Amino acid sequence: MSQKIVFMGTPEFSVPTLESLVNSNHQLLAVYSQPASKAKRGQKIIPSKVEIFAKKHSLRLRTPNNLDNDEEYNYLKKLEPDIVVVIAYGKILPKKFLNLSKNGFINVHASLLPKWRGAAPIQRSIMNLDNQTGISIMKIEEKLDAGPIMHQDKIQINENVDAFTLSKVLSKLGAKSIINAIDKIEKGQAKFQEQNHSEATYAKKISKAEGRIDWNESAKKVLAKINGLNPNPGAWFQYKNERFKVWKAEISNKSNDAGKTIDDHLTIACKHQSIKILEIQKEGKNRQLTDEFLLGNKIKPGEILK
């Protein structure tokens, strides 16, 4: 037997799960994604990664600006899905929609719920110096990421992993987990356990301003911010009223006053230990290795970075 499935997702993180559904024995009725958006610079319209994948594989695609209307409600109702799979769709689902699927709306969430409910669980996990994270398969209810959990997969993380790498790992893990979950639902073997809501933490959306490095924090916390915000929006500092994005760094045992450059290799003192920058990008310029960057941008020892 196979399940009739509707998929909802938008970014690159969602694509492996969609691909796993396409390659399964289940019937994919429709794919929902957020509509194409304008690029940051210029007027170019950029479709989502899910939209690109759906069109490439000739899938039935829906990209409504707003779900909360009769047209979308009736469209989904006529499909009569067994399951709606949601992964990083980026829109709040109207409460009345949640009854349109025989076995509910099943969410693939990139954290070990109830920890890090919300928009940026991968970034927050790294920035918080967590030593493990994972994937939660849960049933969607009205409150944000608060529904009962069916399954979790845990992985260990270390201080050197960045959000880009961890996202790739978790997206593949989620793609595998959802197929196992659907099989259990189909066989009537799925068991959902209520979350401990008193232990919930929230991963609010990352703002660009939040990326500013505070050299008065420990080197571990600074490195966690650099890694957690790589690639977007990025951790940054200012020097002579210009902004510099730090792509990659490592901890050094050298010390000095917080924010002061220690050597000719762009090692900057923190509250405890220091950070040696390995890759950097001056605003408006290309990403560079630090040694290459320093050939044209002299930042001498003893300078104060803000």
Parse the chain into domains and list their residue ranges: 4-199, 208-296
Asked whether 236 and 277 are in contact (CB, 8 A), the reply is no
Count of beta carbons in the 10 Å neighbourhood of residue 134? 22
How far apart (Å, rounded) are the C-alpha atoms in residues 92 and 179? 24
- The pLDDT of residue 18: 98
- The pLDDT of residue 40: 66
How far apart (Å, rounded) are the C-alpha atoms in residues 143 and 109? 14
Asked whether 49 and 106 are in contact (CB, 8 A), the reply is no
- The pLDDT of residue 45: 86
How far apart (Å, rounded) are the C-alpha atoms in residues 77 and 29? 12
| pLDDT one digit per residue (tens) for the chain, 306 residues | 799 999 999 999 999 999 999 999 999 999 999 999 877 666 788 999 999 999 999 999 999 999 999 999 999 999 999 999 999 999 889 999 999 999 999 999 999 999 999 999 999 999 999 999 999 999 999 999 999 999 999 999 998 999 999 999 999 999 999 999 999 999 999 999 999 999 999 999 999 899 999 999 999 999 999 999 999 999 999 999 999 999 999 999 999 999 999 999 999 999 999 999 999 999 999 999 999 999 988 888 999 998
Output the CA torsion 182→137→95→97 (10° steps).
-20
Q: Give how far Cα 293 sits from Cα of 238, 284, 286, Å.
A: 15, 13, 10
3-class state of residue 132 by DSSP: strand
- The pLDDT of residue 23: 96
HSE-CB of 112 using CA atoms within 13 angstroms: 12
Asked whether 299 and 263 are in contact (CB, 8 A), the reply is no
Contact partners, residue 288, CB within 8 Å, separation at least 6: 279, 280, 281
Look at residues 297, 119, 107 and name the one whose alpha carbon lies nearest to residue 204: 119
CATH fourth-level superfamily of 208-296? Formyl transferase, C-terminal domain (3.10.25.10)
- The pLDDT of residue 297: 85
Edge-to-edge order in the sheet of strand 61-62: 61-62, 27-32, 4-9, 83-87, 105-109, 132-139, 149-156
State the first-to-last Cα distance of the chain, in angstroms, to the nearest integer: 61
Residue type, 67: L
- The pLDDT of residue 41: 65
Specify the pTM. 0.93
Q: In this structure, is the dihedral angle defined by the CA atoms of residues 1, 100, 112 and 16, taken in order, positive or negative?
A: positive
Residue range 4-199 forms a domain whose CATH class is alpha beta
